[in-house]
Amino acid sequence: MYSRFAISTLFLIIFLTSSSVFCGPVEDLKPGEWYEVPNSHLASVPPGGNVIAPWSGGAFDTKRNQLIVWGGGHGDYAGNEVYAFNLDSLKWSRLTNPSSIAGVTGCLPIMPDSQPTSRHTYCGMDYVESEDRVFAGGGFIWPCANGDPWTWFFDYTLNKWVKGANLGFGSRAFAAYDPSTGHLWCNGGTGLNEYDPTTKTWTRRYLTVSGQILAIDPVNHWLVGLARGTVRYTPIAGNTSSGGIYNTSGDTSVINPVMNPSDYCAPGFVWDPIINKFVSWSGGANVYILDQTTHAFTKLSPAASNKVIPTAAAAQGTYGRFRYSPKSNVYVVVNSKDENVFIYRLADKLTNMESISAKSLKSNLSITPNPFNGTAAITFSLAGINLNSKLEIFSSDGRLVKYVALKNQNGLFIHKWNAVDKNGALLPNGLYLVRITSAGAIYQNKAVLAR
């Protein structure tokens, strides 16, 4: 009879050495490499509507590991169907059928079947993980240039859009989801509004914020608006700093020209939870990393082993069609319904997470028992934990699975973790990174779950 310790140790050895067992074109991507998914034209899925080229954005569904694309509108495509590209199957699917336009006259934001009219979606889409719905707001609707004042949520259980509050949107809205709180932020119409999925209510926080695309830093709690030559930081989620607007510098020769102020075009702009920085993309194999301290972009060239160069970005902008997958630890982008999907890996999962700070110390952070099979006690000793301190637990693929705000803690902190994620779901066996951030220092250790 083997002891529990021997079995747990054997599991850990197998876990740490078996990465090559689960191989595939996405899994095998090395940092700095791109992959072109063969035969992945959206146009191959009937009716294959032009939902990308006309100023259209997207969202990333982290639960199903898929990129959501919805667009058209104005004088372009009339179809309002929703498409999804799944990173597990590497296939497109159509989630809804287009509404019938027979007998439709005038320019109205809602079709006769109560579904939203097709539109330029710009940066007005995001996935609300805390309630498993896709949000959309604003946009030039078909067949004119009118806007839509209503908020919309795509409900998977109903397989249709559900109309929400009237926020007075014009043609454009800018949305960003905060995974640290589960709240959604949307700028446009009545101002910058915060959505609470628990109460399903909106609260106006500011009159407006600038930026042609919004993203959220969930670690330092900033809503970040990127525009041509500037970046704006707006404090959210308990951040008491004042924020401000700063000029961007560094490698901006590709990112800045994309953002035409009169047309609200935008590159891809996404928070990376592995490197804790923003990543921007606008065609080609290079990506651009924004340093939130210096406000400078740094060009990151592809790895020497890379053999794929993505196609040019859509002329009317990339917006939310460049997204990060926490499960697969890759970026995905689509530029045209008649082109393949491209996938990119920037960082190397847990290895990069462990090396993000020279201040990482295990001595202040203990996990017992370890390995564990049910509940582990995470113990941390530090006097005067500051307001923005936090406990985060990451899976081996870099996905944030648990978040605990540590407010006004002093001395010994103990958290009993019962191996469930932030939604209360049981987590699988594996290696997890436990991290506490406090007063600018990072303290982390590994935990092995072996039931």
d(CA 103, CA 435): 58
In a domain, 283, yes or no: yes
Is the pLDDT higher at 264 or at 169? 169
Q: CA-CA distance, 80 to 102, in Å (whole number)?
A: 14
- CATH code for the domain in which residue 155 is found: 2.130.10.10
Residue of 171, 164, 214, 220 lying closest to 192 (CA atoms)? 214
| Arithmetic mean of pLDDT over the chain | 87
Report the alpha-carbon distance of residue 336 to residue 223 in Å, rounded: 29
227 plus 373 within the same structural domain: no
pLDDT at 131: 95
Answer yes or no: is pLDDT of 22 > 70. no
Read off the pLDDT band of 408 (50, 70, 90): low
Tokens of 366: 């203990």
Q: With 50 as the cut, is the pLDDT of residue 21 above it?
A: no
Collapsing DSSP states into helix, strand and coil, what is residue 204?
A: strand
Do 225 and 239 have their domain in common?
yes
Structure tokens that stand for 262 in this block:
């009169």
Nearest to 332 by CA among 81, 54, 87: 87
Confidence of residue 391 (pLDDT cuts 50, 70, 90): confident
Provide the CATH number for the domain around residue 445: 2.60.40.4070
Last residue of a domain, one of 347, 364, 390: 347
Considering its fold, how many domains does the chain have in total? 2
Sign of the CA dihedral running 24, 27, 29, 35: positive
The whole-model pTM stands at 0.78
Tell me: do 326 and 375 sit in the same domain: no
pLDDT value at residue 362: 47
Backbone phi and psi for residue 193, each to the nearest 5 degrees, phi listed first: -115, 145
286 and 143 in a single domain? The answer is yes
What is the three-class DSSP state of 91? strand
Task: Identify the weakest region by mean pLDDT among 6-20, 314-328, 356-370, 414-428.
Answer: 6-20
Q: Which two tokens stand for residue 331?
A: 């970026």
Check residue 388 and give its pLDDT. Answer: 57
Distance CA 224, CA 210 (A): 9
| Residue that finishes a domain, picked among 299, 324, 347 | 347
Query: What end-to-end distance do the CA atoms of the chain give, in Å?
Result: 17
Range of the domain at 391: 4-21+352-449
Instruction: Based on the fold, state whether residues 321 and 379 are members of the same structural domain.
Output: no
Question: Which pLDDT score, from 0 to 100, does residue 335 have?
Answer: 98
pLDDT for the residue 276: 85
Tell me the average pLDDT across 110-117: 96
Residue 406: closest CA among 381, 427, 425: 381
Average pLDDT score over residue span 85-98:
97
The answer to whether residue 51 scores a pLDDT higher than 60 is yes
Residue 38 falls inside a structural domain: yes
Q: Is residue 117 within 8 Å of residue 73, measured between CB atoms?
A: yes
Give the model's confidence band at 33: pLDDT under 50 very low, under 70 low, under 90 confident, else very high.
Answer: very high
| Out of 162-171, 205-214, 277-286, 360-369, least confident range | 360-369
- Provide the pLDDT for residue 205: 93
Q: Which residue type does 100 have?
A: S
Residue 125 located in a structural domain: yes
DSSP code of 301? P
The tokens of 157 are what? 């259980």
pLDDT, tens digit, for every residue of 360-387?
444 578 999 999 999 999 988 765 545 4
In this structure, are 314 and 403 located in the same domain?
no
In a domain, 128, yes or no: yes
Of 65 and 396, the structure prediction assigns the larger pLDDT to: 65
Assigned token pair, 65:
């590991």
Decide if 26 is inside a domain. Answer: no
The reply to whether 341 and 375 lie within a common domain is no
Closest CA to 172 of 190, 188, 156, 151: 188
* pLDDT of 222 above 60: yes
Give me the DSSP letters along 311-371. Answer: PPPPTT--GGGEEEETTTTEEEE---TTS--EEEE-S-HHHHHHTS-TT-BSTTEEEESSS
- Asked if residue 27 belongs to a domain, the reply is no
Co-location of 246 and 291 in the same domain: yes
Residue at a domain's end among 347, 369, 392? 347
Evaluate whether residue 315 is within a structural domain. yes
Regarding whether 368 and 336 lie in a shared domain, the answer is: no
CA-wise closest residue to 58 among 47, 72, 44: 72
14 and 42 share one domain: no
Does residue 206 form part of some domain? yes
The pLDDT assigned to 338 comes to 97
pLDDT given at position 202: 96
- At 143, list the tokens: 């067949």
Q: Which of 229, 231, 286, 276 is nearest to 252 (CA)?
A: 229
Same domain, 391 and 420: yes
Number of Cβ atoms within 10 Å of the Cβ of 326? 20
Residues 133, 220 share a domain: yes
Contact call for residues 429 and 11 (beta carbons, < 8 A): yes
Q: What is the pLDDT of residues 260-285, one digit of tens each?
A: 877 778 999 999 988 889 999 999 99
Q: Are 175 and 135 in contact (CB under 8 A)?
A: yes
